[in-house]
Amino acid sequence: MERWEAGPGVFQKRCHRMVQIWASQSQVPPPPVLNESPSPNASASPLTEPHEIRLYPRSPCHLHGLWQPPRDATALSTPEEVLSGTADVSGAFAFLHPCSAAFPLTLTSLASSFRGRHMPVLSTFSGSSCREGFSVGGGGRLLSSMAETVGNLCRKMHGGEGFDTLTLDLFSRAPSPAPCSYSKPAKRPRVDGAVTMGKDEDRQNPFDFLSEEILFLILDSLESEPLSKKSFSLVCRSFYTAESCHRRELTPLRSGLLPAALARYPSVEKVDLSLCPTVTDTVLFSVGNCLRSSLRSIDLSRSKGFSHAGIESVVENCANLVEMNLSNATDLSDAAAAAIGRARNLERLWLARCKLVTDMGIGCIAVGCQKLKLLCLKWCLGISDLGVALVAVKCKQLRNLNLSFTLVTGAGLEVVLQLPYLEDLALVGCLCIDDGSLLSLKQECKSLQVLNLSNSQPINHAGLSSLLNITVGLRQLNMAYCCMVTHSLTSSFRKLAKLQSVKLDGCEVTTAGLKTIANACVSLTELSLRKCSGVTDDGLSSIVMKNKGLTNLDITCCGNITDLSLANITSSCTSLITLQMESCTLVSKEGFRLIGQHCHLLEHLDLTDNELDDEGLKALSGCHKLSILKIGICFKISDEGLIHIAKNCPKLRELDLYRSAGIKDAGIRAIAHGCPQLQITNLAYCTWITDASLRALSKCSDLNTLEIRGCPQVSSAGVVAIAVGCPKLTKLDIKKCYYVNDGAMLILARFSRNLHQINLSYCSITNVGLLALASVGCLQNMTILHLKGLTPNGLAAALLACGGLTKVKLNSSFKPLIPRPLLEHVEERGCVFQWIDKPFQVPFSSLVQETCT
């Protein structure tokens, strides 16, 4: 090994000191030595000629405290020197006990100090049994990024707790496991001035024996865990290469990250730039040049800054392009459409809100892209019957066509219905289509399966009946906010024998109309009567009793239904998966008991604003497969009922308790313990919630959305716990959490690197906290109203530092105080400002204190 400058005597004393420190802080004997073989020159006692030095800190923060050299060790370094990389640590060693989430960070700090030095073996213990780890960097190069990998592997292999013991063996004379394929052979310890080479120095990396197919299967299983895939790629060069070849999709947050990503991932098939607020033609040039043959899909649906030149570059270089999404590109004109027309293999195209594209541009697309199967022209106001007719004549393979909010009339619709393979047609808000144009339709469209006529105000019974008579193969029909549903539709619905889904949201219905649907359609699996006026127990019961295969039922705001409807629903539709019945206030606890007794397959249940109590929650806990439960504005529920849900619904992923004022910390602790897969939680205006609830929720590592606005008892300590324990957090609302300050923002910026959206209104945050938060690269949406210590200069600095912002809500009082050029610069990067003129609301606690005084 590299020469130990302090000499063997000091080394022995250091070992004695470390064992004494361990004995003073640990009540268990040290685990056995891994990978250790007797040395010819070593004595029986490990304290006289040790091969390893072991530290057993009870937490990562104790590492510095344990690193105490003996008094005569003049050549030994301090912990600060070791961790900063300025000390000679050629013979240093650490034996760590991971005890908290900060362990990978500590390991990273330690590892970075050993960069390029001898650190050959990494092994693990689990209780009394030992498990061999893997060599980290031949020749002892433990990169700081590898430390993160080790930490992730630790947590995965031992249920999130990490390895019981992690060994970094620098002195053992036993052979080390083979280093990774990209590293040099590990150096052996120097004995008496000579270098002794082990017999297994040239042993191959065992990971090299894994075929590419096996590595790809492993990566497929990690598809939903991006952090795990990142850790996988950092294990060794072969894993890095495999991950680079396996990735098929890129979704960068900023276009500036794209060149490096394209160089690393040459086999990408889909590039999603919808999260990049600004994408220039230069970026599209690089995409076209780097992904010539592999690119099949590109998404620019929420990006700006590019022109027809960039699109032309992508189309010309990527001959295999089959999918392109240009929605919301309001600056694109017919020149861009002409460029798209050169994509001969294009099959799916979205042009929603491309308002400058006219019939001429659509004609170019129709002539050039005759393989189109999906075309979205929603809100393309420059397109008329001429353009639609060209599409229908040239693109005979069209299966999905969206003409919502266009100026198409009955003449254009007649040509469209002649498409031989058309399956899905959307005519939302087409005000130029009326009864007269529909009555003239003669050509049947037997292939059509999905028809969306929502918000089509000019269409009445006569026109609707005419249209339904020529589309007898329909499986899904959406008539939301359309004509009144009465018995006059009887003959039309009788012809729809294959109908499975009916949506009548916002329509005025009659009992006779519902009975007509019940008698004509007996194969329904989905029924939506959201906000329908006129729904009664008699009408609803007639449908559910005839359609026992219903899986999705939405009766939101049907305020006239009672327990009678619930009795018929639960007895007939036992296969319900989704039941939404918000604001059905006439349903009593007996109705909720019936749901729990009969609907055991329920996964999504919405009971917001109902007379639900703890007895009802106890009954609903019988729905063991619940994954989404919304019980906001239920003032009669308390922790007692929530505890029953926690005990019996372990698959719960989303919980909405908005303004359920009876919920306290005990209920949230039970949920956090019983539902570890929780991802979305809404505790807004649950005023009894404290930091104890947030500490409990921090154990739910999959939590990504947390709303705690209006929880005045929550402080920075609770937010810190969430930041440390929930690394997947993407959305956080802490509005009116008055005791959250800069300390929480500093920790949030350090640990919540995936944060996309945050609401900081009325918090005690100053310039320091906002600037710290601006360092989060993923942050895109911020609401900053009435922050206690925010100044115009601090706000300006934060806006400049946060380069990924797409939307910011600010108080209008800041607008004249921030330089106009700065605002224009931020807007050019793709950020939209929303100026709110809202007076400051005095906290309720302050009003109470003033009243008492």
Residue 71 in any domain: the answer is yes
Q: Tell me: the pLDDT tens digits for 604-657?
A: 999 999 999 999 999 999 999 999 999 999 999 999 999 999 999 999 999 999
Token pair of 501 as six digits: 């889904």
* Residues whose CB falls within 8 Å of the CB of residue 434, separated by 6 or more in sequence, listed in order: 410, 458, 459, 463
Q: Answer for the pair 471, 440: CB distance below 8 angstroms, yes or no.
A: no
DSSP secondary structure string for all residues of 141-191: ---HHHHHHHHHHHHHHTTTS--SEEEEESS--SPPPPPPTTSPPPPPPEE
For the record, the structure tokens of 577 come out as: 């998966």
Axis crossing angle, helix 144-157 with helix 103-113, rounded to the nearest 10: 150
β-strand 129-131 against 121-126: which pairing, if any?
Answer: antiparallel
| Residue ending a domain, choose from 219, 246, 273 | 246
Phi–psi pair at 423, nearest 5 degrees: -115, -30
**Same domain? 119 vs 227:** no
Give percent of the chain above pLDDT 70: 74
Residue showing tokens 């459409």: 337
- Choose among 48, 59, 482, 76: nearest CA to 67: 76
Instruction: Tokens for 842, please give them.
Output: 């005095």
Q: Per mean pLDDT, which range of 74-83, 294-303, 732-741 is the poorest? A: 74-83
Is the pLDDT score of 685 beyond 90?
yes
Mean pLDDT of all residues in the chain? 79
Determine, yes or no, domain membership for 117. yes
Q: Which two tokens stand for residue 596?
A: 């729990």
Q: Are residues 52 and 141 in the same domain?
A: yes
Candidates 478, 526, 487; CA nearest to 506 is: 478
Same domain assignment for residues 181 and 229: no
Least confident among 113-127, 202-216, 451-465, 693-707: 113-127
Question: What pLDDT was estimated at residue 495?
Answer: 87
- Stated as kind and residue range, the H or E segment containing 242 is helix 237-246
Spatial separation of the C-alpha atoms in residues 551 and 574, rounded to whole Å: 8
Whether residue 123 has pLDDT greater than 70: no
What is the model's pLDDT at position 50?
35
> Has residue 699 been placed in a domain?
no
Lookup: tokens for 309 = 């030149």
Transcribe 295-340 into DSSP letters: --EEE-TT-BS--HHHHHHHHHH-TT--EEE-TT-TT--HHHHHHH
Instruction: Choose between 847 and 669: higher pLDDT.
Output: 669
Let me know whether 179 and 229 are in one domain.
no
pLDDT confidence bin for 843, thresholds 50/70/90: low
Nearest C-alpha neighbor of 808 from the set 768, 841, 779: 779
55-64, 619-628, 804-813, 819-828: lowest mean pLDDT where? Answer: 55-64
pLDDT-derived band at 204 (thresholds 50, 70, 90) equals: low
Is residue 398 a part of any domain in this protein?
no
Query: Is residue 191 domain-shared with residue 232, that is, in the same domain?
Result: no
Q: Where are the alpha helices (DSSP H) in 417-536?
A: 435-439, 461-469, 490-494, 511-520
Q: What is the pLDDT of residue 125?
A: 31
- For residue 225, is it within any domain? yes
Closest CA to 785 of 764, 759, 811: 811
pLDDT for 324-350, tens place per residue? Answer: 999 999 999 999 999 999 999 999 999
Q: What are the strands, taking DSSP E only, across 499-609? A: 501-503, 526-528, 552-554, 578-580, 604-606
pLDDT, position 54 = 38
Distance CA 134, CA 234 (A): 13
Residue 40 contacts by C-beta under 8 Å, 6 or more apart in sequence?
none
Strand order in the sheet with 121-126: 94-96, 165-169, 121-126, 129-131
- Tokens representing 629 are 């439960």
Residue 231 and residue 195 share a domain: no
8 A C-beta contact, residue 105 and residue 120: no
Residues 190 and 228 in one domain: no
The total number of structural domains in the chain stands at 2
Residue 752 has what pLDDT? 94
Give the C-alpha separation, 33 to 11, whole Å: 18
User: pLDDT (tens digit, 9 = 90+) per residue, 441-492?
Assistant: 888 899 999 999 999 988 888 899 999 999 999 999 999 999 888 888 888 8
Half-sphere exposure of 3 (CA within 13 A, CB side): 7
Q: What is the pLDDT of residues 387-397, one digit of tens each?
A: 999 999 999 99
* Residues 356-378: tens digit of each pLDDT: 999 999 999 999 999 999 999 99
For residues 175 and 98, state if they share a domain: yes
Check whether 75 has a pLDDT greater than 70.
Answer: no
Residues 6+ apart with CB under 8 A from 157: 163
- Grouping H, G, I as helix, E, B as strand and the rest as coil, residue 424 is strand
Contacts of 271 (CB under 8 A, 6+ apart): 249, 250, 258, 287, 291, 295, 297, 298, 299
pLDDT of 686 reads 96
Does residue 416 form part of some domain? no
Burial zone of 850 (CB within 10 Å; 0-12 exposed, 13-18 middle, 19+ buried):
exposed
Q: Are residues 225 and 76 in the same domain?
A: no
Cβ count within 10 A of residue 39: 15
Work out the pLDDT band at 114, boundaries 50, 70, 90: very low
* Residue 475 in domain: no
Give the pLDDT score at 30.
42
Asked whether residue 132 falls in the same domain as residue 144, the answer is: yes
First to last CA, the chain: 74
> Is there a domain that residue 76 lies in?
yes
107, 238: one domain: no
* pTM (two decimals): 0.75
Alpha-carbon gap, residue 426 to 432, rounded angstroms: 14
Give Cβ neighbours of residue 224 (< 8 Å, ≥ 6 apart). none
Is pLDDT larger for residue 294 or for residue 7? 294
Are 203 and 228 contained in the same domain?
no
Among residues 676, 614, 674, the alpha carbon closest in space to that of 648 is found at: 674
pLDDT digits (tens, 9 = 90+) for 256-288: 889 999 999 999 999 999 989 899 999 999 999
**Parent domain of 186:** 7-207
pLDDT over 70 at 680, yes or no: yes
The 10s digit of each residue's pLDDT in 145-171 is 444 444 454 444 444 443 334 444 433
Pairwise CA distance, residues 478 & 526, whole Å? 11
